Amino acid sequence: MAAIEETETPPESQAPEVFRYYELAKKQEWQVRDMPWGELPPIPETTGAKERVEKRRGIWRSVITQQLQADSLAVEMAAQLLEMARHQEAKLYYSTMAQDEARHVEAWLRLIGEAGGPTERDPYLDKLAQIFLGLDSLEEKVFLMQVFFERMIIPRFRLIARSAPDTVLADLCKRLTIDDGIHHSSGMAYERVLLRSASKETKARMIKGASRMLPIFVDHVLWRPKERDFITSAMRTADLARVREEVEDGIKIASSLGLDVTDIEYHIPAA
Ligand SMILES: [Fe+2]
Ligand SMILES: [Fe+2]
């Protein structure tokens, strides 16, 4: 049972710090029709032999497929958060986040159509989503999805935008950097509200959930579809350094929320 002495703040109390993000999200809202369709190429254009062109195109299609998969899963997760949130302000906020994630899917779907169709799914991303969707408590869902995952995905959008200048893909990644920045920050704000009245047991479950998720997150970061498999060995050292940094940052953030992170276990393979 949850420790009684730690549940003094009634969960019905208000969360004005989350309402701020509702207002911010409304102000930042955009539409798929605002994107530069037809003005810019969907993905970087390549010239040369047909085989080379197809290979390059396959790389971009695989990049888009992974993000489409991630955002489709995010729609389900945002819907769960909307349903489970215990504060009126948080429900309002999550109604915007669910719309954001659905809009992201709409944009990726149009983009993958223009780029030539989807490639294979990342099996680790599906596994991660199953963990998120199966978590019991709101505290754990906000923690793993918004505090950890939303944040870890942001540098990836910056990287894609830089690698695909002057394309619809780059335009979309810039929009997502802003949206997911809000998703992460609002999650931090709501998690702080929730932790005010969370039991020791709930906090311990959050740490256990993070330990369960991290090895799969590492697999997800290191995984590449066959279109990009040829760069895997060349990038291995850089990938490992990046994933280590991302995991360590995530743990620092958890600790800044006042959680005891000493029990978080994770293993990053040697190069
Ligand atoms: Fe998204
Ligand atoms: Fe998001």
Model confidence over 50-101: pLDDT tens digits? 999 999 999 999 999 999 999 999 999 999 999 999 999 999 999 999 999 9
Enumerate helices (H) and strands (E) in the chain, giving the number of each: 9, 0
Tell which residue, 47, 29, 33, 40, has the closest CA to residue 169.
Answer: 40
Per-residue pLDDT reduced to its tens digit, 111-153: 999 999 999 999 999 999 999 999 989 999 999 999 888 888 8
CA dihedral sign of residues 141, 142, 145, 147: negative
How far, in Å, is the centroid of ligand 1 from the Cα of 105?
A: 7
Give the pLDDT of residue 231: 72
Q: Does residue 12 have a pLDDT over 70?
A: no
Q: Does residue 245 have a pLDDT over 80?
A: yes
How far, in Å, is the centroid of ligand 1 from the Cα of 99?
A: 10
How far, in Å, is the centroid of ligand 1 from the Cα of 3?
A: 36
Domain range annotation of the chain: 15-199
Q: HSE (CB half, 13 Å, CA atoms) of 16? A: 0
pTM of the model: 0.90
E strands along 55-134, which residues?
A: none
How far, in Å, is the centroid of ligand 2 from the Cα of 153?
A: 9
Q: What mean pLDDT is reported for the chain?
A: 90
Q: HSE (CB half, 13 Å, CA atoms) of 179? A: 23
What tokens does 44 get?
A: 């970087």
**Of 151-155, 188-192, 219-223, where does the model show the most confidence?**
188-192
How far, in Å, is the centroid of ligand 2 from the Cα of 177?
A: 9
CATH number attached to the domain at 15-199: 1.10.620.20
Mean pLDDT, to the nearest integer, of 9-16? 68
Which ligand has an atom closest to residue 146 CA?
A: 2
Mean pLDDT, to the nearest integer, of 197-223? 89
Q: Are 43 and 227 in contact (CB under 8 A)?
A: no
What tokens does 236 get?
A: 């291995």
Q: Does residue 109 have a pLDDT over 80?
A: yes
Q: Are 133 and 6 in contact (CB under 8 A)?
A: no
Q: Does residue 206 have a pLDDT over 80?
A: yes
Q: Are 95 and 36 in contact (CB under 8 A)?
A: no
**Of 121-125, 166-170, 244-248, where does the model show the most confidence?**
166-170
Lowest mean per-residue pLDDT among 5-14, 120-129, 164-173 = 5-14
Give the number of other Cβ atoms within 10 Å of residue 245's Cβ: 11
